[in-house]
Structure 1
């Protein structure tokens, strides 16, 4: 079972990356971490582009999207990655959301907006997410509450991925996938 984690930040690695990386290290799953600050991508809509990160997301059994809160939502670099992914990369795939902001007041923005985007892909998003704030760290080190939340999130993500029967879909394809399969006017 493989989990790919994406850190959706445009700035050098910080507390969120450290917390997620340590949680992945504790996970019994095969894991891979991509930090968008270290893997710059072209703007969506530019010429065809291939990158290891796109293949990793498409072939993973499950995906964790982790983002700092920017302007009350998830980051533009994470949105750009999602715009570069084909619908099939996340369709029917277990997904989890982790976010970090200065205070708990910002917790719902990225959660709500990412859920809408993941629903567009037809991803199977865990019902709850992990949210870390400044109070969950001491000198950049994640504290017990943040560690426990991320560990629970990854365990839930792995459990969902393991529980899915091979080749079984849980409902119709998302509208975005149906639109791609149906010619205009058809």
Structure 2
């Protein structure tokens, strides 16, 4: 029973949308919001160091927007991966928590973007409130990333089975019989 559940979680619900077996799209797509939101924190902090901080404050706001768009795309594929996980399992529970934390993170970043646009948009260095929200949201994203890593690396969701993985460790050198093994 557990073996069939594991096999189910490794197969995509829709290979065209979620990525082929052993090569899911979700981990590739999450790099966009992670990178954009991390860079936005760097821009926020840098806006307190430079002489003319407005360009960094504006850049941080647009990086937040890029991250939100990227997160929505990644989530649309991630939910397909969640559907592949059998219900009433630890992996499914972790997947639901991962998704819930990510939804809260996206909502925090949408609120942060809107906060920054109030009053005509960013001017000067980023205020303490939006900076703090940015840091807290990024920390929550780290928690969610830990859970996503647990899904992939501990529970093997959308990861190829061991037999398929073994192909990568077969020798490329000919054996004594002239075959590769």
TM-score normalized by the length of structure 1: 0.31
Structure with the bigger percentage of strand: 1
Structure with the bigger percentage of helix: 2
TM-score normalized by the length of structure 2: 0.32
